[in-house]
């Protein structure tokens, strides 16, 4: 039976390159797939691009390739990544430049575009594509002037085309996470673009491995104590068969483990209705999935099916939504809680004096209720006289940067003007801009992907245009 061997290289922007280096040296793989984009990432990348037209991609692709590319080319391993973010063209140029520097002539670098609809929004609205919020039904007009980016979660067809045309490295923008894996599956296994059961299976398998170490013992709540050598955690190495089944394993001689338990936790991660897992390429049904331990650190995945892909594609649209200001301070015994509450009152009064504006504020006590929240776990009370220390965190959503800045500025006087013994105020934090996500849909026939391939050549061989 035909099969393809896929490795998970990076699982998020800023992920360590160590598991990928272990993998490229020791694992038997044909493709290494890397996801760099989360919901918020496109907002950040677009902001970078608006300041510098050469930026807007996740720059971690360069040190990653520097670490793995020579070996990957030696072994014929292809690399697929969505590090292009808001600027796949610029990312591709940087990758080509790196190939030149490393002397990897003949390498074919593909750039997949077509996901960015930022410049088409008004035209789409005129055509009657409402782009209304799928959660709330609100019309786009409410935030139109604040939109920072609009990228469609596109499927794997561009990646398949790039591989058919011989690409060694494929750089994409906002393709779905699953497409990074489904592309090589379709290319190698010959799956038709409407074989819904197989595409569903591939999508489900991709979901199991796209978050890297989260499937191989990282973050494992069902027995983290028993996971060997987490600092050297191995990332997923997966053999996908043409019948839609797979064996999920990991790089040899690494930490972590692969069991039905570790894979189950990843399977339920960020899934809505498991019988209707919507992506650009299929509607996967993972509700009847079977996971079976077939050898040490090897889990067989089977029984995933699929239905037709949705008629619309999801758009990742972001809009500017103000700023957040934060302050944190600590008091110790005696009367830690009383002092903390007095310190908080002090801060609130100082903010009132400087005409502070915020749409929302939040108080959490770190070490007590900052994770489950004061909604679920009560604040400490003044009766707790033995408490050795208490940390207050105050956060506010503000309309302007200036308001957000006041939160820290007005907390600083707590050091010498407030109740006795404040500490741990820290240094001025950067002001974080907030972005809202505007979930909306676009008919799939309005999106066409484009693939451009650049072959890396010696500068002196280049022909004048």
Partner 1 sequence: MTRVWDLAHGRSGDKGDVCNMGVIARTPEAWEVLRKHVTAERVKAHFGDMIKGSVERFELPNIRALNFVCRGALDGGGTLSLRSDHLGKVMYTWLLHMEIDDE
Q: Could you list the residues that contact partner 1 (CB under 8 A)? A: 39-40, 43, 135, 214, 219-223, 260-261, 264-275, 286-291, 303, 318, 321, 324, 360-362, 364, 366, 370-373, 375-376, 393, 395-397, 434-437, 439
What is the Cα–Cα distance from 187 to 182, expressed in whole angstroms? 8
Q: Which is nearer to partner 1, 214 or 254 (CB)?
A: 214
Tell me whether residue 93 or residue 405 sits nearer to partner 1 (CB atom): 405
Q: Smallest distance from the beta carbon of 322 to partner 1, in angstroms?
A: 9
Rounded to whole angstroms, how far apart are CA atoms 53 and 146? 20
* Closest distance of CB 416 from partner 1, Å: 27
CB 179 within 8 A of CB 217: no
* Strand stretches in 309-418, DSSP E: 312-332, 360-366, 389-398
- Contacts with 276 (C-beta within 8 Å, 6 or more apart), sequence order: 283, 285, 307
Q: How far is the CB of 273 from partner 1 (least distance, A)?
A: 6
In the complex, least distance from residue 270 CB atom to partner 1, rounded to whole angstroms: 4
CA distance 79 to 185: 13
CB of 396 to partner 1, least distance (A): 7
> What minimum distance in Å lies between the beta carbon of 24 and partner 1?
28
Residue closer to partner 1 by CB (options 243, 287) is: 287
Chain CA centroid to CA 328, Å: 28
Both tokens of residue 226? 């028993």
Q: How far apart are CA 243 and CA 38, in angstroms?
A: 30
Nearer to partner 1, 253 or 359 (CB): 359
**Residue with Cβ nearer partner 1 (164 or 292):** 292
Q: Which is nearer to partner 1, 363 or 422 (CB)?
A: 363
CB of 181 to partner 1, least distance (A): 19
Label each residue of 252-281 as H, E or C.
CCCECCCCHHHHHHHHCCCCCCCCCEECCC
DSSP 418-455: SSS-EE---SPPPPEEEEEEEEEEEEGGG---EEEEEE
Q: Which is nearer to partner 1, 61 or 291 (CB)?
A: 291
């Amino acid at each position: 039976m035909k099969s393809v061997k896929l490795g998970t290289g990076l699982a998020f922007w800023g992920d360590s390159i160590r598991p990928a280096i272990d993998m490229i040296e020791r694992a038997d793989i044909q493709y290494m797939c890397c996801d760099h984009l989360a919901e918020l990432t496109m907002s950040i990348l677009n902001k970078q691009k608006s300041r510098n037209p050469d930026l807007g991609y996740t720059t971690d692709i360069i040190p990653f390739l520097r670490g793995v590319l020579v070996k990957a080319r030696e072994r014929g391993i292809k690399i697929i990544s969505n590090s292009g973010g808001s600027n796949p063209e610029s990312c591709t140029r940087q990758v080509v430049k790196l190939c030149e520097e490393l002397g990897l002539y003949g390498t074919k670098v593909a750039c997949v575009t077509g996901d960015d609809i930022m410049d088409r929004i008004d035209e789409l609205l005129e055509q009657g594509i409402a782009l209304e919020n799928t959660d709330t039904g609100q019309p786009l007009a409410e935030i139109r002037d604040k939109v920072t980016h609009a990228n469609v979660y596109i499927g794997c067809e561009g990646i398949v085309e790039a591989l058919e045309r011989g690409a060694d490295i494929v750089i994409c923008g906002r393709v779905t996470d699953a497409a990074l894996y489904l592309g090589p599956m379709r290319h190698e296994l010959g799956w038709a673009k409407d074989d819904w059961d197989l595409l569903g299976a591939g999508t489900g398998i991709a979901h199991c491995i796209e978050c890297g170490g989260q499937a191989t013992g990282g973050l494992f709540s069902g027995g983290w104590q028993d996971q060997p050598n987490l600092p050297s955690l191995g990332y997923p190495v997966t053999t996908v068969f043409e019948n839609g089944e797979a064996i999920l394993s990991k790089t040899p001689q690494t930490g972590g483990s692969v069991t039905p338990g570790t894979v189950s936790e990843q399977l339920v991660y960020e899934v809505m209705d498991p019988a209707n897992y919507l992506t650009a390429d299929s509607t996967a049904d993972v509700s009847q999935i079977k996971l079976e331990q077939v050898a040490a650190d090897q889990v067989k995945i089977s029984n995933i099916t699929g239905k037709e892909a949705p008629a619309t594609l999801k758009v990742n649209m972001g809009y500017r939504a103000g700023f957040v200001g934060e302050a944190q301070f600590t008091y110790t015994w005696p009367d830690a809680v009383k002092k903390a509450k007095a310190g908080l009152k002090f801060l609130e009064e100082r903010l009132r004096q400087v005409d502070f504006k915020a749409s929302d504020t939040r108080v959490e006590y770190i070490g007590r209720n900052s994770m489950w929240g004061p909604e679920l776990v009560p604040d400490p009370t003044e009766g707790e006289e033995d408490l050795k220390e208490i940390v207050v965190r105050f956060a506010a959503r503000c309309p302007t940067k200036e308001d957000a800045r006041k939160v820290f500025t007005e907390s600083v006087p707590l050091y010498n003007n407030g109740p006795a013994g404040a500490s741990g105020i820290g240094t001025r934090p950067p002001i974080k801009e907030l972005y809202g996500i505007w979930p909306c849909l676009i008919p799939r026939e309005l999106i066409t992907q484009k693939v451009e391939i650049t072959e890396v050549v010696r500068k002196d061989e280049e022909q004048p245009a």
